[in-house]
Amino acid sequence: METVVHEEYAWLKEAQRAALKRLSTLLCAYDDQVLQQKPYWEARYTEAFGALEQQCYAAFVRSSELRRRIALARAYMNRGAEPDAAAIDAQIVQEFHEYEEKLRQMEAERERAAKILKAEELTDVDAKRLKHLYRQLAKKLHPDLQLEQSAEMKRLWQGAMDAYALGDLARLEILAAIVESKYADADAAAPGDGQDASTSMLEEMRAALKRTEERIRKCCAALERLEQEHPFKHRALLENPRAIDERKDELKRQIAHYMAECKELEMQLAMMMQGRAEVLH
């Protein structure tokens, strides 16, 4: 019986070690997608369509604003009053604040995309070194691998993520040296290391392995979800010049539609504000 217990202990210990290694690999893959690949593909998408999408949204907002102005002016006229241009302007500013904020955000995204795409790329050797350092830091600092994190570990981990996202190899080298000196023995260990293979310890090890396997499943699911989200779902589009041109043509048609609509609405609003609404009925 004791031999069986020790065999299970050895198996569980090795299974947990392998599971933690796989989890570490998956977590680093997820972080690579979110911290490096996502900003890059967002920048590629914005470079291709950002200007046209911003123009399209601005035209849509202008069309919506004109419709709202007409509705407000008509409300005055239905009460037998002359439209108050200043009051209408004030209400429009209040109601369309979020739309204007989104337009500013779109402009900021275009500027950010340009900076990302103009940034100097790491050499293949440096890129591999960056990933290696990040993986080593993740083993010692990632919250899914080190469940009991001190405030300092959290700060160092945030710094590692920031440096990785920016491709800042020098900063990551410094952080790796700091972590190595402070947490040289902080590698995740399987429950039961250095302890007797008692029945209670085996139960603890089984539970720990089950938790690790569940985290692996969640991480795999998260990676799959990423592929369905912006910008990853647009990768095929961005790698197809013909599809890019077709999407641009579609946006241009939408812009033309909104602009034509705005021209008609501006004429209608001008006549209403001049007290000639009867011409429209």
Whether residue 115 lies inside any domain: the answer is: yes
Q: What is the pLDDT of residue 188?
A: 46
Cβ–Cβ < 8 Å for 52, 248: yes
DSSP single-letter state for residue 275: T
Is residue 112 included in any domain, yes or no? yes
Calpha distance 83→69 (Å, rounded): 10
What pLDDT was estimated at residue 197? 55
Integer angstrom CA distances of residue 158 from 29, 63, 151, 270: 17, 44, 11, 55
Give me the pLDDT at residue 4, please.
56
* Contacts of residue 223, Cβ cutoff 8 Å, sequence gap at least 6: 26, 29, 30, 33
pLDDT at 66 (0 to 100) = 98
Q: How far apart are CA 258 and CA 165, in angstroms?
A: 38
Q: What is the pLDDT of residue 89?
A: 96
Give the residues of the chain that fall short of pLDDT 70: 1-5, 184-197, 275-281
pLDDT, one tens digit per residue, over 222-274 is 999 999 999 999 999 999 999 999 999 999 999 999 999 999 999 999 999 88
Residue 176 located in a structural domain: yes
In this prediction, residue 277 carries a pLDDT of 47
The tally of domains found in the chain comes to 1
Residue span of the structural domain in which 134 resides: 2-182+193-280
Per-residue confidence (pLDDT) for residue 192, from 0 to 100: 52
The answer to whether position 187 is within a domain reads no
Question: What is the per-residue pLDDT for 119?
Answer: 84
Per-residue model confidence (pLDDT) at position 182:
81
